[in-house]
Amino acid sequence: MGTVTLGVSIAVPEPYGSFLQERRAGFGDPAAHGIPTHVTLLPPTEVDAAARPAIERHLAAVAAAGRAFPMRLSGTDTFRPLSPVVFVRVAEGGSACGWLQERVRATEGPLRRELHFPYHPHVTVAHGIAEEAMDRAYAELADFEAAWTVDGFALYTQGADCVWRLQREFAFGGAKPCFPAVPRQADLSDLSRPAAPSV
């Protein structure tokens, strides 16, 4: 049956997801339209296609043990010079993402793997492009804010065209959150306002 490249992530909902994807494209990142805006739980991982049913059972079990949590994005940061990435910071919800990704990659599960770098939840907005464009992404999204309630995660596959496509969503099975589940709306005209250059 061959192999397939999988990824597991938390989607950034609308209107934020499309806004950040368009900004990423506008900075000149050629991968922007092939990658839905997300927070990674499992980076691209090649697996035997025959393992898909076991993988989906595993992810369903991880989701069943989880519960909804608040996520808040705020401002920008970068992994440079270690890695050519500018990202929007996860200001709230990072510990829950950490808990989830550890269980997704559990050593006794079908997606066990080591990471090249310590896990750091984030939303990529520029990757591997010119330094000037990376600087612009860092500055222009410095005032970005978004907040919502995360109620699950999703499995994606990467096609031969390098586009990531949604395969299945996994809803959390835990108790209801004790905070409002209505996302805080943002004025996107404010979000696109250029910020002062970083030092």
- pLDDT string in tens for the chain (199-residue length): 699 999 999 999 999 999 999 999 999 999 999 999 999 999 999 999 999 999 999 999 999 999 999 999 999 999 999 999 999 999 999 999 999 999 999 999 999 998 888 999 999 999 999 999 999 999 999 999 999 999 999 999 999 999 999 999 999 996 544 333 333 333 343 333 333 333 2
Q: Is 194 exposed, middle or buried (0-12, 13-18, 19+ CB in 10 A)?
A: exposed
Residue 196 lies in a domain: no
Residue 197 lies in a domain: no
Residue 117, pLDDT score: 87
Where residue 118 sits, what CATH number does that domain have? Answer: 3.90.1140.10
Residue 170, pLDDT score: 98
Residue 186 lies in a domain: no
Residue 139, pLDDT score: 98
Residue 71, pLDDT score: 98
Residue 106 CB neighbours (<10 A): 14
Residue 192 lies in a domain: no
- Taking the C-alpha atoms of 187, 191, 192 and 194 in order, what is their torsion angle to the nearest 10 degrees? 130
Residue 22, pLDDT score: 97
Residue 174, pLDDT score: 67
Alpha helices in 65-172 (DSSP H): 94-104, 131-140
Residue 131 lies in a domain: yes
The total number of structural domains in the chain stands at 1
Residue 181 lies in a domain: no
Residue 7 lies in a domain: yes
Angle at 94 between CA 89 and CA 100, to 5 degrees: 135
Residue 128, pLDDT score: 96
Distances (CA, A) of 160 to 5, 20, 49: 10, 24, 14
Residue 116, pLDDT score: 85
Structural domain for 105, as ranges: 3-174
Residue 120 lies in a domain: yes
